C-alpha cells in the first residue's frame, strides 16, 4: 500500500530537499518528540535561527515528517512501499534510506502512541455461531427454515459484553456483502483523506 500526499504535505516535505541529511535526521527526532510530548515552539525557534529560515518552515517540515511516520506506522506499510511512497517526493537515495531507517526504528513506538490517543470503543473479541434448521411443524410438514444464531463477544477496556443475534442466511449474506463494500470504500484515497481530517 502506498501513501498518498496532497499538495500541502508535498510542500511541507519539499523543505527537506533544501537541507543536508544531518538536519533531516534532527527534524525526524523533533517529529518523534512532537508525538511523545506535543509541540515545543522554543525548539522550533532555535532550529529556525540555526538554519536561518522562518519558524513556519521548520514547523511545517516537522509536521510533514510526523504525518509521514504516523500514516506509515498506522498502516504498517512495508519497507518497499515506504520507499516507493517517498520516491514521488523527489528525495535522494541517501535521504530515502535515512527516512526508512527512522521509520523502521520507531514505527512500533508510534503505533503505541497512536493507540493510546485513540478512543477505546467496544471491539470484537470472539464470535460463536450456530445454524438451526426447522424441518417441519404441525401445520407444515415439508418446510425448511434455516436460522443463524450469533453470539458476539465484545471488549471495552477490560469489560466483556455479549450480544445474541438471530438472522436468516439471506440477510446474513446481504450484511456480509454490505460490510465488505464498506471496507473496500474505506481503502479509497477519498475516505482516507476524510478520516485523516476527522482525527
* Percentage, residues of the chain above pLDDT 90: 16
Confidence check: pLDDT of 46 > 70: yes
Confidence check: pLDDT of 196 > 70: no
Grid coordinates representing 141?
A: 410438514
Place of cell 533544501: 18
Tens of pLDDT, residue by residue over 55-70, are: 888 788 888 888 888 8
Report which of residues 34 and 173 the model is more confident about: 173
Distance between start and end Cα atoms, the chain: 21
Strand, helix or coil at 122? Answer: coil
Query: Could you tell me the pLDDT band of residue 119, with boundaries at 50, 70 and 90?
Result: low
Grid coordinates representing 174?
A: 446481504
Between CA 68 and CA 116 the distance in angstroms is: 19
The predicted pLDDT at position 20 comes to 78
Query: Could you tell me the pLDDT band of residue 16, with boundaries at 50, 70 and 90?
Result: confident
Average pLDDT over residues 94-112: 84
Q: Where are the domains of the chain?
A: 7-117, 123-198
The predicted pLDDT at position 166 comes to 93
Place of cell 500500500: 1
Tens of pLDDT, residue by residue over 163-190, are: 999 999 999 999 999 999 988 888 887 7
Phi, psi of 187 (to 5 degrees): -85, -10
Amino acid at each position: 500500500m502506498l501513501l498518498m500526499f496532497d499538495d500541502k504535505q508535498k510542500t511541507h516535505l519539499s523543505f527537506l530537499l533544501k537541507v543536508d541529511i544531518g538536519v533531516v535526521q534532527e527534524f525526524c527526532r523533533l517529529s518523534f518528540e512532537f508525538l511523545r510530548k506535543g509541540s515545543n515552539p522554543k525548539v522550533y525557534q532555535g532550529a529556525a535561527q540555526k538554519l536561518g529560515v522562518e519558524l513556519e518552515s521548520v514547523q511545517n517540515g516537522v509536521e510533514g515528517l510526523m504525518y509521514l511516520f504516523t500514516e506509515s506506522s498506522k498502516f504498517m506499510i512495508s519497507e518497499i512501499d515506504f520507499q516507493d511512497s517517498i520516491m514521488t517526493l523527489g528525495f535522494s537515495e541517501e535521504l530515502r534510506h535515512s527516512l526508512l531507517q527512522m521509520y523502521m526504528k520507531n514505527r512500533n513506538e508510534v503505533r503505541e502512541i497512536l493507540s493510546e490517543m485513540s478512543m477505546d470503543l467496544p471491539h470484537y473479541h470472539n464470535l460463536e455461531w450456530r445454524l438451526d434448521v426447522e424441518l417441519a411443524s404441525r401445520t407444515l410438514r415439508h418446510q425448511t427454515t434455516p436460522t443463524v444464531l450469533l453470539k458476539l463477544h465484545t471488549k471495552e477496556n477490560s469489560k466483556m459484553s455479549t450480544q445474541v443475534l438471530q438472522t436468516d442466511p439471506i440477510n446474513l449474506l446481504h450484511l456480509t456483502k454490505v460490510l465488505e463494500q464498506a471496507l473496500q470504500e474505506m481503502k479509497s484515497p477519498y475516505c482516507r483523506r476524510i478520516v485523516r481530517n476527522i482525527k
